[in-house]
A and B are shown apart, each in its own frame.
Chain A
Amino acid sequence: MALVHLDSLYHVALRLTRNRADAEDVVQEAFLRAFRSFHHFNPGTNCRAWLLTILRNVFLNRVRTQGREVLETGMGGLDYAEVATEVHADKNPDEHFLQTMLHGDVDRALTTLPLAFREAVVLVDIEGLTYREVAEVLGCPIGTVMSRLSRGRALLRRALGRFAREHGYVKEEE
C-alpha cells in the first residue's frame, strides 16, 4: 500500500472537501480502509486509482451522514442551457486573461464547481488520470466522464472569466 500516493490523495481530498481538517480525516480513513482491504487489491493494477476510489467513497459517506455537499450535478447557480451553449459554441478561444490568472484564482474557481464536475476536472486536469481511470474511480461510463469533464471545464472557464473581470485583469465584456 502506497504512502507514496499520500500527497496525491491529500490533494484530491482537499479539492473534494474544500478544507484541510476534513481532507486529513478523509485521507486517514481512506488509508485505514485500504489497509484493511489490502488483500482485495490486485497487484499490477493501478494502486492510485484504487486508493482514490476508496477515498471518494469515504468522502461520499461523510457527505451522506453530514449532508454538507450537493451531491449530484447541480449547476452551482449557473444556467444549464447557458453552459451547454458555451461548451459547444466555444466562440472565444483568445483567453488572454488565462495567462494572468493567479494560483489562488484557480483554487477559488474550482471550489465553485458542483462536485460531479469538480471531481472530473481535478482527476483529469490536475491529477493527470486517464479517462478510463477516472471512470473506474467515479464508477461511471467513460462517456459520462467526458461529458462531465467538458462541462466542468466550461464552468471553470466561466468562473475564471468572472474573477478576471472582478479583479480588472480584463475589461468588462471584452
Chain B
Amino acid sequence: MNCGDVRAKLHAYVDGELPVNEITDVDSHCVECRECAALARAEREFRQLLRRQPREAAPAELRARIVSRVRRESVVALGRPWLLAPIAAAVAAVVVMVLLPARTPPPLVAELVDKHIAYSQIDRPAELTSADPREVTEWFQARAGMRITVPDYSPSGIHLAGARLAEAHERKAAYLLYEKGRTLLSVFMVPVSASDATLPGRHVAYRGADYVAYERKGFRTVSWTDGQTIYGLVSMLDYDALLECADRLRAERTRQTQL
C-alpha cells in the first residue's frame, strides 16, 4: 500500500471497518510512514473527541407520554381483534422495558465515568502532577478554596498521580487521579446540590457503611454522599479494591472533619 491507498482508507481504518488483511496492510505502512501514522492518530483523536460528548438523556415526561400513548392505542385496538397479537407483543415489550431498572446510570455518576474516560485519553490529565497528598490538599485550598481530603492508598500499591479542578453537573468538583500500575483510579468530590436525588443503583454495605455500585461502559463506580459532598470512585479496578479505597477515604474524611 502506498500513501494514497492508505489515505483513501483512513476513515474506514480508524472506524474499524476495514477487513483484517487491509488493517494489517495499513498498520505496516504506518510503521514505515510517519506522516500517515500522524494522520491516523489525528483522525483517532478527533473521533475520541466526538465520542466523549455528553449525551442529553430524554426527559422523563417524554418517556411517560410515550408509554401512556402506546397504552391508549392498545386499548383502541381491543376492538379490532386481528390487531391484537402483534400489539400485545409490542405492549409487553414496552411495559417490560419500562419496568426494568433503568439501564442508564444516575446522570452524575454517568458523567463521572465519561470524565474518567476523557481524562484517561489525554496526555496530561492532571493539572497538578504530584504524589504528595499534602501538596495536593494545599493546591486545592489555594486554587479553589476547597478543603479536600486526599487519601493515601500507597500501602495498597495505588499511587497518587495528581489532581485537577473538574466540572460535574455545572459544579466545581475536585478530581484526584491515582494509578495502580497502568490502571487509573479517579476520585471525584462534587458538592451536593438541592437538585440531586438520592444516588440510585445497587446498594452495597461495606464495613458498616452504605455505598452505591454502578457499572458503565466497562468501568466500575462506587459512590456515596455525606450530605455535603458526593464522592465517586471510577476505575477498572474490582469492587473489592474500590470499596476498600472508599472506606479509607471515608474514614480519613471523618477524622479530618472531627479535628
Interface residues of A (CB under 8 A from B): 1-4, 6-7, 9-11, 14, 24, 27-28, 31-32, 35-36, 38-39, 88, 90, 93-95, 98-99, 101, 103, 106-107, 121, 124-126, 128, 130-131, 146, 149-150, 153, 156-157
Contact = CB atoms under 8 A, between A and B. Distances in A.
B204 to A, nearest CB: 24
Contacts of B58: 6-7, 9-11, 27
B19 interface: no
A61 to B, nearest CB: 18
Contacts of A94: 38, 42
18 contacts: A3-B98, A4-B100, A6-B62, A6-B63, A7-B57, A10-B58, A14-B56, A27-B58, A28-B65, A31-B66, A35-B90, A36-B73, A90-B42, A95-B45, A103-B53, A124-B15, A125-B51, A156-B50
Contacts of A9: 58
B181 interface: no
| Chain A, interface SS category | helix
A10 B62 CA distance: 10
B66 A106 contact: no
B33 interface: no
Contact of A24 (B10, B17, B42, B62): B62
B39 interface: yes
B70 interface: yes
B169 interface: no
A137 to B, nearest CB: 16
In this complex, the interface size class of chain B, counting residues with CB under 8 Å from chain A, is: 35 or more
A164 to B, nearest CB: 12
A2 B96 CA distance: 9
A90 B98 CA distance: 47
A36 to B, nearest CB: 7
B39 A90 contact: yes
A38 B62 contact: no
Contacts of B65: 28
Nearest to B9: A146
Contact of A150 (B11, B86, B89, B122): B11
Given A1-B93, A4-B100, A31-B70, 13 more contacts: A3-B63, A6-B63, A10-B59, A10-B62, A14-B56, A35-B87, A38-B87, A93-B38, A93-B39, A95-B45, A107-B53, A146-B11, A157-B46
B12 A24 contact: no
B66 A128 contact: no
B7 A4 contact: no
Given A24-B62, A32-B73, A99-B122, A106 B49 contact: yes
| Chain B, interface SS category | helix
B41 interface: yes
Interface of B: 7, 10-12, 15, 17, 38-39, 41-43, 45-47, 49-51, 53-59, 62-63, 65-67, 69-70, 73, 86-87, 89-90, 93-94, 97-98, 100, 103-104, 122
A1 B11 contact: no
A174 to B, nearest CB: 15
Contact of A3 (B12, B41, B66, B73): B66
A27 B62 contact: yes
Contacts of B49: 98, 101, 106
Contacts of B50: 106, 121, 125-126, 156
Contacts of B93: 1-2, 38
Nearest to B42: A93
Contacts of B38: 93-94
A128 to B, nearest CB: 7
Nearest to A121: B50
A150 B11 CA distance: 7
Contacts of A124: 15
Contacts of B15: 124, 131
A125 B47 contact: yes
Q: Which of A4, A9, A14, A32 has the most CB of B within 10 A?
A: A4
B87 A4 contact: no
